[in-house]
Homo-oligomer: A and B are copies of this chain.
Amino acid sequence: MAAFDQAIALTSIGENLYGGATSAAYANMVGPFGGVTAATVLNAVLQHPALLGEPVALTVNFAAALASGPFTVEARPVRTNRSTQHWVMEISQADENGQASTVLTATAVTAARRETWSVDEEPMPEVARPDSVARPNMAAMVEWVKRYDIRILEGQIPVVWDGAGHSSRTTLWVRDEPERPLDFASLTALADVFFPRVWLRRATAVPAGTVSMTVYFHADAAQLGSHGTDWLLGQARAQALRNGFFDQTALLWSAGGRLLATSHQIVYFKA
């Protein structure tokens, strides 16, 4: 089983309840990589016996850092319509007193999608192919970064932290390492691979952590299936950085230029 599949693996432990555990392979500075936690909570919906359709929207709120070890995911279908279904999820962990404590809240919408008139409004930028772009030296970075092959085209992590940043935009190629066929869970995690926009815009390394993240899935399972293990092009930028929080808006295209997902987050940063 690939490291990613191990990290998001869940065992049914009751009605609407699943048991999981943090994975050292996706460790971040504090707790696990948020993208994998988001993928794990979506995974509870994906393997729920009452699931209708496929994910359309996912919002995950990171209430506290997950401690290393086991956790419980609750996923409840609170409303099932003819073609859409609404989910409320939560991750809880025992705190230092052994009390169950909420570390993450989430909601999702799934839907049975039909083919309709369709158009992508946001064209993929014309960029160099991944094979022609060197891998950034991220050997000293946190563990989860090693689970991705990332080729940064624009907006590298600053080499000199001199406060002279001028743009918050990063454009990069990315795929799982080792290669793994794309699905809803891995696409969710990929939407969170961008380093904090404030580092780039400010050329200053300050503590930062995602507070809330939303993913809109434009691709269905068939489109993700035909993507296979190919590269994705990702682009992320901030729109406002103010008083301890900045937003990030991100786009993820297939190598062929199909917009697979759009994603947004609001991120805490320290002065």
Contacts and interface: CB of A to CB of B under 8 A. Distances in A.
Interface string A172-209: 00000000000000000000000000000110100000
Interface in A78-120: 78-79, 81, 84, 86, 88, 90, 101-103, 105-107, 109, 111, 113-120
A251 to B, nearest CB: 7
In terms of DSSP, what is the predominant structure of the interface of chain A?
Answer: strand
Contact of A63 (B79, B105, B240, B264): B79
B116 A269 contact: yes
Q: How large is the interface on A (under 10, 10 to 19, 20 to 34, 35 or more residues)?
A: 35 or more
Contact of A64 (B79, B102, B114): B79
Given A114-B271, A239-B251, A105 B88 contact: yes
Contacts of A243: 113-116, 118, 220
A266 B81 CA distance: 17
Contact of A121 (B114, B168, B270): B168
Given A111-B244, A114-B244, A249-B262, A86 B59 contact: no
Interface of A: 56-57, 59, 61, 63-64, 78-79, 81, 84, 86, 88, 90, 101-103, 105-107, 109, 111, 113-122, 167-168, 201-202, 204, 211-212, 214, 216, 218-220, 237-245, 247, 249, 251, 259, 262, 264, 266, 268-271
